[in-house]
Amino acid sequence: MDFRLPLIFFLILFTTQCCFSANTELKALMEIKAGLDPENKYLSSWTFNGDPCDGSFEGLCCNEKGQIANISLQGKGLSGKLSPAIAELKHLTGLYLHYNALYGEIPKEIANLTLLTDLYLNMNNLSGQIPPQIGELGSLKVLQLCYNQLTGSIPTQVGSLKKLNVLALQSNQLTGAIPASLGDLGTLIRLDLSFNSFFGSIPMKLADAPLLQVLDIRNNSLSGNVPLALKRLNDGFLFQNNPGLCGSGFASLKVCNDSDHINPSKPEVYGSGATGVTREIPETANLQLPCEQKPCSKPSKSQRGLILVALIVVIVALSVIGLVTFMQYRRQKQKLSSLSEVPENRLSTDQTKGFSRKNGSPLISLEYANGWDPLADGRNYNGFAESFRFNLEEVETATQYFSELNLLGKSNFSATYRGFLRDGSAIAIKSISKTSCKSDDAEFLKGLNVLASLKHENLVGLRGFCCSKARGECFLIYDFVPNGNLLSYLDVKDGNGQVLEWSTRVSIVKGIAKGIAYLHGNEVNKPALVHQNISAQKVLIDDQFNPLLSDSGLHNLLTNDIVFAALKGSAAMGYLAPEYTSTGRFTEKSDVYAFGVVVFQVLCGKRNMTSLVRVGGECCRIQDFIDPNLHGRYLEYEAAKLARIAWHCTHECPVERPSMEAVVQDLGSLVRYSGMISSDFVYYRSRKKMGNTSCIFFACVDQASIGVVERWGRFEKLAEPGLHLFNPCAGQWLAGVLSTRISSLDVRIETKTKDNVFVQLVCSIQYRVMKRHADDAFYELQNPKEQIQAFVFDVVRALVPRMDLDELFEQKGEVAKAVLEEIEKVMGEYGYSIEHILMVDIIPDSSVRKAMNEINAAQRLQLASVYKGDAEKILQVKRAEAEAEAKYLGGVGVARQRQAITDGLRENILNFSHKVEGTSAKEVMDLIMITQYFDTIKDLGNSSKNTTVFIPHGPGHVRDIGEQIRNGLMEAASAKVNVE
């Protein structure tokens, strides 16, 4: 019991702390709301009684612990101040307040947000200095303070932000020297200080920043030698409109002379130089004058006073003259250079519009980080929200500065990149060359307004735009569609690619039709629009395989020659309507024609279309051009209807083509009628919808088919294959045609066996319509395939759970027989004959298959080990037997050899004794032995391979050999004397 009390106390304390933390955050949110939206216009969803983490608070996201982690209120029209209560949200990681009209100072309490990684306060009216406490945000990666009215200098504490990747301070009123501490930012990638009033030199330490890719210092008052290390940035180093800069290795910079700073890390004293112009003294300047060898004379007090007064007068006068001259030069520069950069004091929307009206072109009058705003011409476009406009920095960051790894596609006039915004959402960015866009600003704005007004579930959503004069490009930001375009799902061969199922194809056709119909229709805020470039490549497929039409209305932004060049590609692929060659005009019927071609592509599964497709659709040969990858798994009635629609849409005469609204209505009936008419119903020329009256009085029933004839809506008779005449005036017509060929239906059933193994069975049913009962098949049964499938499910799921997995494999024929008996009895009543039922596959669960394979592998390894042991045993036995036999044979050979030697010696002794009388056998033996001994010594001496002679080395042995040799020689000599 003792251990429970601390636990209960801890739980109470923890609960109290959580509630206190939640109440603290909610109270802080109310204070932040009061500051940001004092009139309660935009944050009315923030209520004291609400829950910030249930999704009801606009722009708020919480972490898994229920703590505020993200505030995203960009472009909401907020016009208040940022409250110091923001410091109470200690778990905040992202603060996005850009594109608003906030004013006041940045609260120093923001330093308490130690987990903050993204701080976006740009595009507001913030004033005051950058708080030095901002250097305490150790987790900060992106600091966006650009396009405000900030003053003062950059705090040196910013150099403490060791994780900072982006620092954007452009278009403020900042002054002072560039802190050398910025060079301590080892992860800094982009630094933008342009359009401020910084002076002094560029710190050498900053030039050596290891990861720096972009340094923008344009339109400042910097001077001195530019570090050569910045040359590695190439186009990422922007330094224009800094007259005092000099250096070598940079094309547009003057070469430094003696009056310029040669060593930026140790600048000379900033005084009145050779030019007579006094320079301001930066914080990094070395104020100690070098002293020469000779002693320096000290001026008197009166001289020092006069010099000081004169110096002050000269400095003041020259400063005033220089300031006036510089301001006049800068104003004239902005007027005459088409305003390639952002005006310094772009503070609010009203000021922007006034500046635009005064300075002309709306396409270049307002620039967000090198992106100009085409809407800044004072016109009232209510369709555009502030959040619709992106700046170039956002686009560059999203695409990793247009990395080739993010390139999705490229054409002669555009390129498309994939990117990710800071909130993690995926986007597609289409980059269009400015030379490809319409030069007339009013036309461009009109086209942009059309694009912004297009909102439909089957159109790719446009998020915004950005234009950059510096890059000479416009960027359209769309939602990213993950599954590519429809073209990639055509011409699928040998399993290389995904084959679209029939239901998916029907859904895609319907979605495309709805998207085009929306473009052609008139809405309150949207005019009727012709797409002009419909193709399978322009149909994108999302993660749910819904079709999204891309590039809708894009031709309104492009020049005529670019649009014409795109038409060449459409004509080559067969999408261009034939009347365009004579009229040169696009109409809604041109889009209808292209839609018909896309429908044929979806049916055939092929990219390149030929005239045979239209001939096939006209001559009732549906089976001849349906995608073979479907293997017959499609509804023939739906295929027939789609073919008929495509045929009418691609009619040579535009007047005969239906409107897209009529097509959508006709496609909608697929769902309504596909269950009412047999799936074996094949295409015939109908008189009811969009039909040609040439086939009203007669109809053709194909071979292996049977027709159903009605009179005034009631069944009359069956029509055999051949040509039949009908009297429509008497209410007689051909209601439908059924195929009597054998059809195949593959049914997949998932169930489990008696031993709890989940399996998937593939059952193939072959069936056909019985001619004598074709009327029952036509009228009694709505959908035979679904009926068959239902009975297969019922029988299999009743039978298989009573079998083990092994029994199921052994008795799959019995399962097929049981299914056949049940379905044959039921379907016979509806005019269908079941020919065969095959259990073509039994697929256990993947984990079971893996386990079975492992068991099988283990058993085989065990059996292999037994075989291997037996083999090694046999091998050892055989080896022993061979060795024994070898030894036996070796012994026999030695015995025989010795016997032969003995026999030879005996013969030699007998021969010698017979020829030399008086010799004994021992004497002959001694003579033979000494002869063999010397022969051996001789052979050893004659052999070049022998280097050693073995002789007896025991005591007396050498003497015995010598005596034997000497005695032998003496005996031989005496024998010779005696003979003589």
Domain boundaries, the chain: 20-246, 331-480, 483-578+589-619+640-648, 742-848, 921-979
The residue ranking higher by pLDDT, 397 or 428, is: 428
pLDDT at 312 over 90: no
Mean pLDDT of the chain: 76
Residues 6+ apart with CB under 8 A from 560: none
Residue whose pair of structure tokens reads 């014409």 in the numeric block: 564
pLDDT of 684: 35
List, as one string, the DSSP characters of 233-279.
Answer: GGGGEE--S-TEEE-SS-TTSBPP-TTS-S-TTSPPP-SB-TTSPBP
Residue 486 confidence class, pLDDT cut points 50, 70, 90: very high
DSSP three-state, residue 734: strand
By C-alpha distance, which of 719, 720, 718, 762 is closest to 744?
Answer: 762
Q: Tell me the β-bridge partners of 418.
A: 428
Q: How many C-alpha atoms does 655 have within 13 Å on its Cβ side?
A: 1
pLDDT of 787: 82
Residue 689 confidence class, pLDDT cut points 50, 70, 90: very low
What CA–CA distance (Å, rounded) separates 299 from 817? 123
What CA–CA distance (Å, rounded) separates 151 from 84? 20
CA dihedral 549, 553, 554, 557 (to 10 degrees): -170
pLDDT at 728 over 60: yes
**H, E, C per residue of 821-842:** HHHHHHHHHHCEEEEEEEEEEE
Type of residue numbered 77: G
List, as one string, the DSSP characters of 680-726.
Answer: TB-----SSSS--GGGSSEEEE-TTEEEEEEETTEEEEEE-SEEEE-
Residue 259 confidence class, pLDDT cut points 50, 70, 90: low
What CA–CA distance (Å, rounded) separates 742 from 169? 75
What CA–CA distance (Å, rounded) separates 43 from 396? 31
What CA–CA distance (Å, rounded) separates 776 from 952? 121
* Helix or strand run (H / E) with residue 647: helix 636-649
pLDDT at 323 over 80: no
Residue 866 confidence class, pLDDT cut points 50, 70, 90: confident
pLDDT of 470: 64
Which residue spans within 512-603 are E strands per DSSP?
539-541, 547-549
pLDDT of 384: 53
The structure's pTM equals: 0.41
Kind of pairing between the strands at 407-410 and 414-420: antiparallel
CATH of range 20-246; options 3.80.10.10, 3.40.50.10490, 3.90.1150.10, 3.20.20.210? 3.80.10.10
Question: Which whole-number Å values give the CA distances from 437 to 304, 363, 944, in the listed order?
Answer: 66, 11, 100
Tokens of 924: 């002959």
User: Model confidence over 59-73: pLDDT tens digits?
Assistant: 888 887 888 888 888
Which residue spans within 829-884 are E strands per DSSP?
832-844
pLDDT at 647 over 80: yes
Q: Tell me the β-bridge partners of 744.
A: 766
User: Model confidence over 175-220: pLDDT tens digits?
Assistant: 999 998 898 898 999 999 999 999 999 998 888 888 998 899 999 9
- The 8 Å CB, 24+ separation contacts for 857-861 are none
610: left (phi over 0), alpha (psi -120 to 50) or beta: beta
pLDDT at 807 over 80: yes
pLDDT of 869: 86
pLDDT of 128: 93
Tokens of 505: 């194809």
What CA–CA distance (Å, rounded) separates 112 from 129? 18
What CA–CA distance (Å, rounded) separates 192 from 203? 15
The residue ranking higher by pLDDT, 318 or 416, is: 416
For residue 139, the tally of other CB atoms under 10 A from its CB is 15
What CA–CA distance (Å, rounded) separates 633 from 175? 73
pLDDT at 541 over 60: yes
Share of the chain above pLDDT 90, in %: 17
What CA–CA distance (Å, rounded) separates 407 from 472? 18
- Lowest mean pLDDT, pick from 267-276, 429-438, 692-701, 924-933: 267-276
Kind of pairing between the strands at 758-769 and 832-844: antiparallel
Residue whose pair of structure tokens reads 């007998």 in the numeric block: 910
Instruction: Identify the CATH number of the domain defined by range 483-578+589-619+640-648.
Output: 1.10.510.10
Residues 6+ apart with CB under 8 A from 595: 512, 513, 516, 534, 649, 660, 663
Residue 892 confidence class, pLDDT cut points 50, 70, 90: confident
pLDDT of 357: 31
User: Model confidence over 812-847: pLDDT tens digits?
Assistant: 888 888 888 888 888 888 889 998 898 888 888 777
- What mean pLDDT do residues 422-450 have? 83
Q: How many C-alpha atoms does 685 have within 13 Å on its Cβ side?
A: 16
CATH of range 742-848; options 3.90.870.10, 3.30.479.30, 3.90.1170.50, 3.40.720.10? 3.30.479.30
Tokens of 738: 């059924």
Residue 622 confidence class, pLDDT cut points 50, 70, 90: low
By C-alpha distance, which of 789, 776, 780 is closest to 823?
Answer: 789
Residue 275 confidence class, pLDDT cut points 50, 70, 90: very low
- What mean pLDDT do residues 129-138 have? 92
Residue 504 confidence class, pLDDT cut points 50, 70, 90: very high
Dihedral sign computed on CA atoms, order 332, 335, 341, 347: positive
Question: Which whole-number Å values give the CA distances from 904 to 209, 258, 890, 910, in the listed order?
Answer: 103, 120, 21, 10
pLDDT at 811 over 50: yes
Tokens of 591: 């889009």
Residue whose pair of structure tokens reads 């060079």 in the numeric block: 183
By C-alpha distance, which of 867, 936, 929 is closest to 901?
Answer: 929
CA angle 152, 186, 111 (to 5 degrees): 50
Residue whose pair of structure tokens reads 């003589």 in the numeric block: 980
- What mean pLDDT do residues 793-810 have? 88
pLDDT at 640 over 60: yes
Of the segments 129-133, 389-393, 401-405, 962-966, which one has the largest average pLDDT value? 129-133
User: Model confidence over 578-613: pLDDT tens digits?
Assistant: 888 778 788 999 999 999 999 999 998 888 765 444
pLDDT of 461: 86
pLDDT of 459: 94
Residue 538 confidence class, pLDDT cut points 50, 70, 90: very high
Q: How many C-alpha atoms does 44 have within 13 Å on its Cβ side?
A: 4
What CA–CA distance (Å, rounded) separates 279 from 277? 6
What CA–CA distance (Å, rounded) separates 462 from 476? 7
What CA–CA distance (Å, rounded) separates 239 from 222? 9
User: Model confidence over 327-356: pLDDT tens digits?
Assistant: 554 444 433 333 333 333 333 333 333 333
Residue 367 confidence class, pLDDT cut points 50, 70, 90: very low
pLDDT at 291 over 60: no
Q: Give the distance from CA 295 to its chain's centroid.
A: 73
What CA–CA distance (Å, rounded) separates 277 from 100? 42
- The 8 Å CB, 24+ separation contacts for 521-530 are 521/661, 523/453, 525/383, 525/453, 526/450, 526/453, 526/454, 527/450, 528/588, 529/450, 529/454, 529/553, 530/586, 530/587, 530/588, 530/590, 530/591
Q: Give the distance from CA 354 to its chain's centroid.
A: 43
pLDDT of 598: 94
Say if domain 331-480 classifies as CATH 3.40.50.720.
no
What CA–CA distance (Å, rounded) separates 269 from 289? 7
What CA–CA distance (Å, rounded) separates 399 from 598? 32
Q: Tell me the β-bridge partners of 151.
A: 129
Residue whose pair of structure tokens reads 């003259």 in the numeric block: 321
Q: Tell me the β-bridge partners of 767.
A: 743, 834
416: left (phi over 0), alpha (psi -120 to 50) or beta: beta
pLDDT of 19: 44
DSSP three-state, residue 226: coil
Residue whose pair of structure tokens reads 């930026």 in the numeric block: 264
pLDDT at 566 over 50: yes
DSSP structure class, residue 294 = S
